[in-house]
Structure 1
Amino acid sequence: MNSFPVIETDRLLLREITDEDASSILEYLSDDEVMKYYGLEPFTSINDALDEISWYKSIRSKRTGIRWGITLKEHDVVIGSCGFHNIVAQHFRAEIGFELSKEQWGKGIAAEAVEAIIRQGFQQMNFQRIEALIEPRNLASQKLVERLGFVREGLLRSYEYTCGKFDDLYMYSVLKQECQAPEQF
């Protein structure tokens, strides 16, 4: 497998997540508010974080996904993650996912990171379509993807069973040709 693609933005370095990042991942994924729409219970141990990192490694090795750790350039501490999962290479599409430490909310960091990986997805990974599945109550994520050009296509009723309940999810997507303007991506 080729080396992990590091992505640099104005403020951020998006890099591979390693076992050494487990304590910082545990810190933000143990927060009830961060985990509210994540589809898992808040983490309670370092093993939960190591299991998550193991999942990141497995989706990359199976070529069904890739997850970047979000770090501020001046601090090499993972404050969130973003990436692609459910990659369907034959159809040139993937789902996007992201989360960020609560202390970093409202600073434009998630949007900066997500915009960078969308560019990576269209330019380097040859996706035609990038999807986002978002719970109806997750207004912040809906606003973020809409600002980046995603279109809400519809409601997937009882689409996932997580944390003991069925969740409806909005299906959003953005297509490669919708992001061709150089000033957007």
Structure 2
Amino acid sequence: MKKEFPIIETVRLILRKIITEDADDMIVYLSDKDVVKPMGLAPCQTVKDVWDEIGWYKSIYEEGTGIRWGITLKNSDKVIGSCGFLNIHTKHYRAEVGYELSKDYWGKGIASEALEAVVQYGYHHFQLERIEALIEPTNLPSQKLVERQGFRREGLLRHYEFTCGKFDDLYMYSIIKEDLNLN
């Protein structure tokens, strides 16, 4: 994945590389406990905290274990969220998808549009067979979002992650290539 960072364009969105200059936009949502709690993160307190997150995006891309796009509206270059893959296992043709969106943009179909584009990218460009989403049982909006995209709930992973001082149960969702009739 050392080539030029890919840009994804949808009807309303441009998904692009996140850079350090985006930190001021990103702190708006990464400091919001309602946005970051389902991610297992503590809210960012400073722009330096956001730089650390951007540094993680850069490292997973360089290592080939993930890719995270900044979500922007076509009429603005302001980053309002992110979406992408982590834990890419090329040998097994699978990856985990994750996303977050500034609360100001919830309920407008933006996360759905970004997720659909990223899933399609994963199948066409990474030749993924399986894409997973791990979602907290209390995060009903995210469960509904992935279910509308065709993901299926496979089961509950008990005490799967230790984040913010506690063990979290997570639902495992997945979508496989044949679910979308892709060739």
- Residue number in structure 1 paired with 2:131: 130
Equivalent position SS for 2:146:
helix
Deviation string for 1:100-153 (max 9, x for gaps)?
000000000000000000000011110000000000000000000000000000
Deviation string for 1:33-79 (max 9, x for gaps)?
11121111000001100000000000000000000000000000000
TM-score (norm 2): 0.98
Q: How many residues align?
A: 182
1:43 aligns with 2:77: no
Correspondences of 1:68-87 after superposition (within 5 Å): 68-87=69-88
CA distance in 2, matches of 1:51, 1:118: 26
- Residue number in structure 2 paired with 1:24: 25
- Residue number in structure 1 paired with 2:145: 144
CA distance in 2, matches of 1:25, 1:48: 10
- Residue number in structure 1 paired with 2:120: 119
CA distance in 1, matches of 2:157, 2:178: 25
- Residue number in structure 2 paired with 1:92: 93
RMSD: 1.0
Name the % identity. 61
Equivalent residue letter for 2:131: I
CA distance in 2, matches of 1:92, 1:84: 12
Unaligned runs of 5+ in 1: none
Equivalent position SS for 2:78:
strand
Task: Give the C-alpha shift of residue 181 in structure 1.
Answer: 6.2
Runs of 4+ in 1 over 4 A off after TM superposition: none
